[in-house]
Structure 1
Amino acid sequence: MVVIAEIPSTEYVLNCTSACAGCGDSLALRYVLKAAGPDTILVMPAGCTAAFQGVYPKTAYALPVVNIAFAAAAASASGLSTFLRAKGKKTKVVVYAGDGATLDIGLSAVSGAFERRTDFLYVCYDNEAYGNTGMQRSGATPIGAKTTTTPAGKPEIKKDIDTIIAAHEPPYQATACAAYPQDLFRKVQKALTFEGPTFVHILTPCPPGWRYSAEKTVELGKLAVKSGIWALYERENGKLVISAPTKAAMKKPVPLEEYLAPQGRFKGIDSATVALLKGRIAENFRRLAAEEAGS
């Protein structure tokens, strides 16, 4: 188990970002880059993280960054990784992309890079909407959540990107949450020890988009895990291991209502949708437990 004291003190996300107060994305990025270290190139499509890095020629990131079009991050990373490996360089190539760029606009490029066995880490930071352009619904928006394009609540379920990635049989993939930095740091470190494509999917609560008070980001992230609506696990060469916080939630989950209530995006959610969410949590727990047990 990683403890906070073992996480490097070097900062690669500097204090001059223009991120919103309480931004779960910037918190996650901080630990991703601490795990990756200085010999890293960050590939970043359009999104919140690209927006709050600063205005050229200044940047808030103390690492090389390739800013790339929304749909092209994984394709760009494929070319960059191939070039570096041909030159005998072990520089880490890390894509850091939002849910819109991953689940929707860039999905074909992501699939192609994983099918080609690109040697890179793809990180999806998931604030469950298009946060940078006003919080429109994405494929990652959960059912019942209000966005600017689903003002009555999204009627469709959240797209299961982790199962899509698992179908490509990467050597390593994991889920994480910005509210659990030690778990996140360890999983990113581990992902970067593998050759080939690896994937880390991070829940990053968003105060303005989710409509909660900015100081509650860590609390909301932990409630997501403790209620089971966000499960933490890792899959190494096809073998699934459920992370400790989710194992605890499987035994005694926090009521889902405690997670939903502080968020304005779920204001007025009907009981049938809450029941559907609870049913999906129970089914996901069942499925994960069965896979971990090998059955």
Structure 2
Amino acid sequence: MSATTVLDLRELRRRQPRFSGMDPGHRACQGCGQSLAAQLVTEAAGPDVVVANATGCLEVFSTPWPHTAWRIPWIHSLFENAAALAAGIETAFKQQGRPTKVLAFAGDGGTFDIGFQTLSGMIERGHNVLYVCFDNEAYMNTGVQRSSSTPHAAVTTTSPAGRMRPGKRHLKKDLLAIIAAHHLPYAATATVAYPGDIKAKVRRAMAIEGPTFLMIHAPCPLGWMHGPELTVKVARAGVETGLT
């Protein structure tokens, strides 16, 4: 009778081969929710993908010339046209008969505001692209300015709180409802508090033919003014309190 070897969970995880499209050692802030979300998305998506990445935090901290954290084909687009670039790549692959999947990455500024026109067009035309919005609820890369994703009463450098105003005066845009109005086959939300849920939704989206959309809530320690060790805890609190 052979001896039984018992391994703890940490050792099992160490021995299990796992693909990641994004290497550590990049220049993200400590506790960056967006870097965690991007790593989870690329793990679930696998190696046979191409990413069109809008200007923003993710692009800046992952590709300071001449370095890159990416292990998959990755293209930097303008702030406003990640969806258009992804649509062009997808069309070329379809013409060539290639099965490679196309992802578009952008923050809330590049999705809710600056890049919404190209996103709407990409979905309406039916391009087979998974668009991922990393939602940290402000323009964090340029100094924590409000976006239309910023919640009501939140404090940013362009919506300060004081005696005359509570912070941002307007409600957060209900982007998912607008996306759903395009009648695409799949749209979902997720949060870095639940990694398994992100991976499951990425795999489901990539198995669907046609445009798909995933919005991932990703706390930003710099903009939200919480400790870097609290990112996942803050994200989970958002779900449990109904704010996310």
- Could you say whether these structures have the same fold, taking a TM-score greater than 0.5 normalized by the shorter chain as the test? yes
What whole-Å deviation, never above 9, does each CA across 1:142-193 have from its counterpart, x for those lacking one?
0010001001210000001100100001111110001100000000010000
Which residue of the partner structure matches residue 172 of structure 1? 186
* Aligned-residue CA RMSD (Å): 1.3
Instruction: Report whether the alignment pairs 1:84 with 2:96.
Output: no
Aligned mate of 1:120, from 115, 129, 133: 129
CA distance in 1, matches of 2:42, 2:108: 19
Is the 2:62–2:68 contact (alpha carbons within 8 Å) kept by the matching residues of 1?
yes
What residue is the counterpart of 1:265 in the other structure?
none
Question: Residue in 1 aligned with 2:215?
Answer: 201
Higher RCO (C-alpha under 8 Å, 6+ residues apart): 2
Please report the TM-score for the alignment, with normalisation by the length of structure 1.
0.75
Contact 1:203 1:221 in 2 (8 A): yes
Q: Assess, with a 3 A threshold, how the Cα gap between structure 1 residues 127 and 82 changes in structure 2: closer, same or farther.
A: same
Counterpart-to-counterpart distance in 2, 1:96 and 1:220: 23
Equivalent position of 2:149 in the other structure: 140
Residue 250 of structure 1: aligned partner:
none
Which position in structure 2 is the counterpart of 1:47?
56
SS at match of 2:134: strand
Report the equivalent of 2:235: 221
In the superposition, the TM-score normalised over structure 2's length comes to 0.90
The count of corresponding residues between Structure 1 and Structure 2 is 226
AA paired with 2:217?
L
Equivalents in 2 of 1:195, 1:10: separation in Å?
Answer: 23
Structure 2: which amino acid aligns with 1:225? V
Q: Which amino acid aligns with 2:117?
A: S
Tell me how far apart the structure 1 counterparts of residues 100 and 70 of structure 2 sit (CA, whole Å).
Answer: 17
Q: Distance in 1 between matches of 2:74 and 2:22?
A: 12
The CA deviation string for residues 206-234 of structure 1, in whole angstroms up to 9 with x for no partner, is: 0010001110001000000011111xxxx
Unaligned residue ranges in structure 2 (runs of 5+): 1-11, 162-166
Question: 2:146 & 2:17 partners in 1: Cα distance?
Answer: 36
Deviation (angstroms), 1:8: 6.0
- The answer (yes or no) to whether the contact 2:20–2:46 under 8 Å persists in 1 is no
**Given that residues 8 and 34 in structure 1 are in contact (C-alpha distance below 8 angstroms), is that contact kept between their aligned partners in structure 2?**
no
Instruction: Look up the match of 1:30.
Output: 39
Question: Are 2:172 and 1:158 aligned?
Answer: yes
Q: 3-state SS of the aligned residue for 1:124?
A: strand
Match of 2:138 in 1: 129
SS of residue matched to 2:91? helix
After superposition, where does 1:185-264 map in structure 2 within 5 Å? 185-230=199-244
Whichever residue aligns with residue 37 of structure 1, its letter is: G
Secondary structure class of the residue paired with 1:133 = coil
Instruction: Give 5+ residue unaligned stretches, structure 1.
Output: 231-295
Q: What amino acid does structure 2 have at the position aligned with 1:187?
A: K
- For 2:236 and 2:157, the matched residues in 1 are separated by 26
CA distance in structure 2 between the aligned counterparts of 1:48 and 1:223, rounded to whole angstroms = 23
Distance in 2, Cα, partners of 1:54 & 1:187:
26
Instruction: Deviation per CA, 1:25-50: give whole Å up to 9, x if none.
Output: 00000110001100011110100000
Structure with bigger helix share is: 1
For 1:122 and 1:8, the matched residues in 2 are separated by 27
Q: Distance in 1 between matches of 2:28 and 2:205?
A: 26
